[in-house]
Amino acid sequence: MSLYEVWQAAASSPFQPAVGKDSQLTVGLSLLLVGLILTGLFGLNRSPVSIPLFGIPASLAFAIGAVYAICGFGVYV
Amino acid sequence: MRFSSVVSAVFGLCFHTSLSSAQQSNLTTPELTQRILTGDFKPAPVFENTNLVRTINLEKGYVRETTNVLVTNTDKNPQSEYYIPFDYDLVGKIGGFDARDKKHAERGPLEVTIGTLAGVSDAKEPSSSKSTQYYIIHLTEPLPPKGAVTLSISYHILEALRPLPASIKQEEKQYLTYYFSAYVPTVYPTIKQKTKVKFPSSDVPEYTTTSGLTSAADPEKQGSSFSYGPYDTAKVPPGTVYPVTVRYEFNKPLLVCSVLERDVEVSHWGGNLATEERYWLRHDGARLANQFSRVAWSTQNFYINAGQMTTSALRELKVPLKPGSVDAYFTDEIGNVSTSRFRPNNVREASLELRPRYPLFGGWNYTFRIGWNNDLSSSLRKLQTPADTYILAVPLVEGPKNPEGIQYEKLVFRVILPEGATNVKYQTHGGTGVPTLQAEHGLHKTFMDTLGRTVLTLTATNVVDEARDVTVLVTYEYTFFAALRKPLTIFAGVAGVFVLAYLVGSIDTSIGKKQK
C-alpha cells in the first residue's frame, strides 16, 4: 500500500490541535496567571501540605501555560 | 506574529543542526540507483529506434527534452534494458529524468538506473576517461524478439543555455544560444527521426540550416517552433553528431538557485506547519556591458509597467501559497524587505509578491529568505492503525512561479517533525521526473527542546520549479508521552523549585535558644 493511498484513507481524520491557534495565547497567559497566583498562595503558607496543594498545581499550570504562551506568541514548538 | 516569526527564524539558524546517524534508517529506496559499468562498455545493439520524435522546449530558462520513440527488439532474445547515452560533460546537468511506456501510462514511470563507467567514478583519475555515461531504462516486461514498445522519455538540462552576446546594454534584449545534434544521440540504429524545437517567441535571428540531410528545406519554421527533419537515418551509424546551433530571444531572467534550503516544521502543540525557504539566487543571463544606470532604469520601469517594453532583469517574484497561509515574511541580510506584498486568501491561493531590493541583472546575486505559517490540519492526518501514527503531505518545492522558470542546483528539504517522533518513512507522489532524493535522519534542537526534534533531510540536485507537483508523504509515530515531554520537563523543573523553596524555608536559621 503506497503512502498516497494511506493519505487518502485517512481523509476523515485530519489533525486537530487540543487548543486552536486563536485561543492559544489566552489559554497560555491565563494558565501562567493561575500559576503565579498559586505560587503566591504557596509563599504565604510554606508547609508540607502546600506543596501538593499549591506547588504541584502551580507547576502544572506553568508547564502547560508556558507551552501555549510561546505558541500563542508565534514560536510554534 | 510576523516579528516573532522572524525572531524564530533567526534564532533557529543560530542553533546548529546536528545530523546524527544514530537512528536507524528505514527509508524508501531511491528511484534512481547507480550501476558501475566495467571496462570499455558499449551497450549491445539489440534494439532499433523505428521512429523517433524529439521535442526540445526552450520556453523556460532551462531545456526540457522529450523524446517519443518506437523501439523494436532486433535481437533473438527478449530484451529489457534500453540505454540512453549522455556525454560526460552533460550527464551532471541532467535532472528530472522520466521514462514511461506510452501504452501503459497508468503504470507510472519505468525504473531507471544510471550506468557509470568504472574509470569515471574512480575518484583518483576523474578526468582520465571522459566517456559516455548512460541512463538505463528497465522495461516492466522483457520485449520479445521483433516486439515493439513506445517509450516517452523526458528530462531537463540545466545551465545549458548561454547568452550571446554575453554582455548587453541595460535596455537591450537578451539572446540565448543552445547547441544540440540534429541526429538524436543514441546507441541504437534509428530508422526515422525528427526534432522539434519550441522557442519562447518567433524572434530567432540565427540558426543552423542543414544541408544534405533531407530533400526539403531544413529546418521547417512554424511560428515559434522549428522542425529539423524528418530524416531517414537507417544508414547513419548510431552516435553520429550533426551540430546545430540556435540563437533566440529570451528577454527574461535566467534564474538559478545555487542552493535552496527549505524547512517545514510540524508543531502538534501549536497546530501549525511553519515553512521557511532560504534562496541563494543568481541571474545567469547576459551581463551589463556598462554600469547600471538608475536614471535609465526608472525610465525603463515606466515603459515596462505600461507594457511597452520588457527586460531581462528580475523585477518581481510571485510566490503562490496554499489557501490559509498567514504570517508571511521576506527578509535578507539587511533585514525585513518592505517592498513586498502579501495577499492572504482563505479560499484560493494566497500570493506573496516579492520585489528584491534591486533589479537583478545578469551575473548579479540575491540572497533572501521567505517564510509563512499554515494550519496543520490541512497537511497532517492521523491514522486509525497503527496507533499514534500520523501522515504528513507537503510539496517538495513551493517558491516562486515565474513563466521563465527557476533552476535549483541543489535542494535541501528538511522535514522537522516533533520531538520524540520515531519510525519515520517517506515516499513521493505525483509529478513527472521526480528528482533522486538522498535521505538522512537527524536531530534539530530549537526552542523548548530537550533531546531535539526528529529531522528528515532530503537532498536533491538539478531540480526545476516543475517539482512543485511532487508531494512528499511522511509517516511517523508520535506517542502521547512523547507529546508531553515539553510540559513535563518544565513541570519537573518548577516543581523542583517549589520543593527546594519549602526545604530552604524550613531550615532553622535562628541564633537564639530553641523554644519548646
Residue A63 lies inside a defined structural domain of this protein: yes
Q: Which amino acid is at B287?
A: R
Answer whether B383 sits within 8 Å of A14, measured CB to CB: no
pLDDT at B516: 60
- Tally Cβ neighbours within 10 Å of residue B71: 22
Q: Which of B3, B449, B494 has the highest number of chain A CBs within 10 A, making it the mutation to test binding with A?
A: B494
pLDDT at B24: 33
Per-residue HEC secondary structure of B212-248 comes to CCCCCCCCEEECCEEEEEEEECCCCCCCCCCEEEEEE
- All three cell numbers of B286, joined, read 547576459
pLDDT at B118: 67
Residue A23 lies inside a defined structural domain of this protein: yes
Tell whether B510 is within 8 A of chain A (Cβ).
no
Asked if pLDDT for residue B158 goes beyond 50, the answer is: yes
Residue A40 lies inside a defined structural domain of this protein: yes
Higher pLDDT, B219 or B38: B219
Tell whether A38 is within 8 A of chain B (Cβ).
no
pLDDT at B104: 86
Q: How far is B5 from chain A (nearest CA, A)?
A: 6
Domain that holds residue A67: 19-72
pLDDT at B115: 83
Q: Who contacts B289 (Cβ-Cβ below 8 Å, separation ≥6)? A: B167, B168, B169
Confidence band for B3, pLDDT divided at 50, 70 and 90 = very low
3-state secondary structure of B294: helix
Q: Give the percent of chain B with pLDDT over 70.
A: 90
The per-residue pLDDT for range B170-201, each reduced to its tens digit, is: 999 999 999 999 999 999 999 999 999 999 99
The per-residue pLDDT for range B79-123, each reduced to its tens digit, is: 999 999 998 888 889 999 999 998 888 888 899 988 877 655 555
Answer whether A66 sits within 8 Å of B487, measured CB to CB: yes
> What is the block-wise mean pLDDT of chain A (77 residues), using blocks of 10 residues?
90 93 96 96 89 94 96 93
For the entire predicted model, the pTM comes to 0.87
Q: Who contacts B83 (Cβ-Cβ below 8 Å, separation ≥6)? A: B43, B115, B134, B135, B136, B137, B187
Tell whether B1 is within 8 A of chain A (Cβ).
yes
Specify the fold of B32-249.
Immunoglobulin-like (2.60.40)
Of the partner residues B383, B449, B506, the one whose CB lies closest to the CB of residue A6: B383
Find chain B residues with C-beta within 8 A of A73's C-beta: 4
Q: What are the residue ranges of CATH 2.60.40.1730 in chain B?
A: 2-27+253-285+316-358+363-489, 32-249
B162-163 and B175-181 strand pairing: antiparallel
Closest CA to A38 of A63, A55, A20: A55
Answer whether A42 sits within 8 Å of B393, measured CB to CB: no
The per-residue pLDDT for range B33-59, each reduced to its tens digit, is: 677 777 677 888 899 999 999 999 999
Q: Does domain B2-27+253-285+316-358+363-489 correspond to CATH entry 2.60.40.1730?
A: yes
The per-residue pLDDT for range B337-389, each reduced to its tens digit, is: 998 899 998 899 999 999 999 999 999 999 999 999 999 999 999 998 888 99
Domains in chain A: how many in total?
A: 1
Q: Which amino acid is at B454?
A: T
